[in-house]
Structure 1
Amino acid sequence: MRHVLYLFCLMLPLPAAAEMSAAEFDAYTRGQTLYYAQGGAPYGAEIYHEDRRVQWSFLDGHCKEGHWYEADGLICFVYEDNPEPQCWSFAKGPNGLIARFANDPGQTELYEADKGSAPLLCLGPKVGV
């Protein structure tokens, strides 16, 4: 009987990670470069500067400047090339941040894959012939 109870407990879902407040998110990310993955594949990286400024890249050498703010318990980002806010819920999981895209939560869930303070590779503007 004890083995059956143990197996049943293993099948129970883990408790959901609590969503981070803006203050918790800022304290965790400020001054850091976070690399995100989706489904085990690299997705992108973001540098979190002072004053809630950010720099995002899909790891393709192209970087976007932006900023974040808190709205209705979500962390929303606005980037230089898109005035529409991209809002996410963030939670601290056992291996780092878990980000869920609030605009369409069933589509995008990202996981922190690495954390450091190195700058992103950002190529300059395209110029030439």
Structure 2
Amino acid sequence: MQVADAPLTAQEFEAYATGKTLSYAQGGVVWGAEQYLPGRRVIWAFTEDDCQYGHWFEDQGNICFLYEDQDQPQCWRFFRETTGLRAIFMGADGGTSLSEVGQSETPLNCPGPDVGV
């Protein structure tokens, strides 16, 4: 795998991520994991948090995620590096950078809110 200077296109991102669950960390601390489903659907979970369901789309070279119960997308630029993906947030803070630290074909564990009731 080579380091890329240009961000991944939507097609490159889709080819890389679909069918996988990727874990992301910031500064060596695991931030969360996202499962990439066919049809550009996703499931995101912060560490020890409930799953959020949504979808992603391309907007002006960014990969943007819109989750249920949110009205504003969260847009990122993804770069392929020797160790996996690096994601840079394109929001107001402009500095959040996450690195891929794990890859699996295992779905996220997302029990429903009423399990056991």
Could you tell me the TM-score, scaled by structure 1's length? 0.82
Q: How far apart are the structure 2 equivalents of 1:51 and 1:128?
A: 31
Unaligned runs of 5+ in 2: none
SS, match of residue 73 in structure 2: strand
Identity of aligned pairs, percent?
50
Matched, 1:48 2:14: no
Aligned length: 115
RMSD: 2.0
| Higher Rg of the two aligned structures | 1
Give the secondary-structure state (helix, strand or coil) at the position aligned to 1:27.
Answer: helix
The separation in 1 between residues aligned to 2:102 and 2:116, in whole angstroms, is 35
**Deviation string, structure 1 residues 44-95 (Cα, Å, up to 9, x no partner):** 0000000000000002141010000000000000000212010000000110
Distance 2:24 2:107 in 1: 15
List 4+ stretches of structure 1 deviating above 6 A: none
* TM-score, scaled to structure 2: 0.90
Amino acid at match of 1:65: Y
- Where does residue 104 of structure 1 map in the other structure? 92
Relative to its length, the structure with more helix (as a share) is: 1
Aligned-partner residue type, residue 35 of structure 1? S
Q: Which has the higher contact order (CA 8 A, sep 6+)?
A: 2
8 Å CA contact 1:61–1:123 kept in 2: the answer is no
Does structure 1 residue 58 correspond to structure 2 residue 50? no
Cα deviations by residue, 1:9-45 (Å, 9 ceiling, x for unpaired): xxxxxx8632100000000000000000000000000
Unpaired stretches in structure 1, ≥5 consecutive residues: 1-14
